[in-house]
Amino acid sequence: DIQMTQSPSSVSASVGDRVTVTCRASQGISSYLAWYQHKPGKAPKLLIYAASSLQSGVPSRFSGSGSGTDFTLTISSLQPEDFATYFCQQANSFPLTFGGGTKVEI
Amino acid sequence: EVQLVESGGGLVKPGGSLRLSCAASGFTFSTYGMNWVRQAPGKGLEWVSFISSDSSYKYYADSVKGRFTISRDNAKNSLYLQMNSLRAEDTAVYYCTTRSGPGEILDYWGQGTLVTVSS
């Protein structure tokens, strides 16, 4: 199975801050990497797929980069509605695996 | 608008069974692969199972293999998860998701249904 290591597990930030989350795969997954946002009691939401493609309707302050084993999610200017938990997921092969999550909080 | 609505969760004793359902609308259900993903309290996300659009392919996490069965009814736009021999560690919120490419992208999710396994 492909292990996904995500860091940090939590980050304290303020509105307007630039936030970066990293994800590392235990083996190369090309660009088969997705990022999700999850708020308590809500359905997780796809933000980024194929490592850097923005899902339709997602604000452009979200961006993704990387390939192979190392990936990054960046929020360029944090907005109040962005306080949530973010997960990476390898989309290369079954079993699908997720990073442990990054909680972005004030 | 894509909608996925899970149901069937609840409290069940260890060793018991439960059947989850996911009602889909707003898209052509019969052309999409579907997944179940779960999140235990205070834990991260765990993929559980996948079924292809025509049910010809089914995959399971090792943690549920032999105990859970995924199925679908394209005529009813519904996805199911039959869970047998339930254990305390199966306690989680269970989400159904669509599957899209490239790769295995989980592009739409339901709001989840809580399964609690406890005596």
Q: What is the pLDDT along chain B (119 residues), one digit of tens a residue?
A: 999 999 999 999 999 999 999 999 999 999 999 999 999 999 999 999 999 999 999 999 999 999 999 999 999 999 999 999 999 999 999 999 999 988 899 999 999 999 999 99
**Residue A71 sits at the chain B interface (C-beta within 8 Å):** no
How far apart are alpha carbons A88 and A55 in whole angstroms? 14
pLDDT at position A106: 78
pLDDT at position B103: 87
pLDDT at position B101: 85
Report CA-CA distances (Å) from B36 to A12, A30, B103.
31, 24, 16
Taking CB atoms and an 8 Å cutoff, what residues of chain A touch B106? 34, 36, 44, 46, 89, 96
How far apart are alpha carbons B70 and B53 in whole angstroms? 12
HSE-CB of A65 using CA atoms within 13 angstroms: 5
